Amino acid sequence: MEEKSWEEVGKERRSLAEQGRNLYRQHRIDGDLVEAMAWATTHEALGKALDLPGLGYLEREERPEGSTAILRVEGTRRNEVAIGTKLVIEQVWAAKEEVLRQLSHPERTETIKRFYKDLLEKVAEIADQLDLILLKGRPDGICNLCQSTGVAPLKPKGRVG
């Protein structure tokens, strides 16, 4: 995995969030709510595209005092993104559904999905190398993980006590 790839993913993620902001503005959602909803919707779209529900999703919650809230749920955390009257939150929610549909389009998430696949492959390679090190000890010569050279394999230490 190259640093350039990581920079590319950051750029793509920011671009996706900017597209989300523009889509929310088209639905006449503005102010601080645009920023919060755009990022939350971006993470939800990426969570669906990458099959990672841990990135979070949005849900509505009616409150006892009569207001309604939109919450971002990540695991056990629930953070309030918006609160207002039921009518206002319904309008924001309708916009959210349309923005999510558009941000989730495969053409918009393709670069990040490709990077994530590459990341998983690199993680598997590293796990395989670590397994070999655990089984055989550190290799003579060049180690792809630590870039050390000419180091003899690790030997198990004697018993303590």
Is 40 in contact with 72 (CB distance < 8 Å)? Answer: yes
Q: Give pLDDT, residue 143.
A: 61
Amino acid of residue 13: R
d(CA 77, CA 86): 23
Q: Give pLDDT, residue 161.
A: 43
The model carries a pTM of: 0.72
Average pLDDT of adjacent 10-residue blocks, the chain of 161 residues: 69 93 93 92 92 87 91 90 91 95 92 86 87 74 57 48 43
Is 146 in contact with 129 (CB distance < 8 Å)? Answer: no
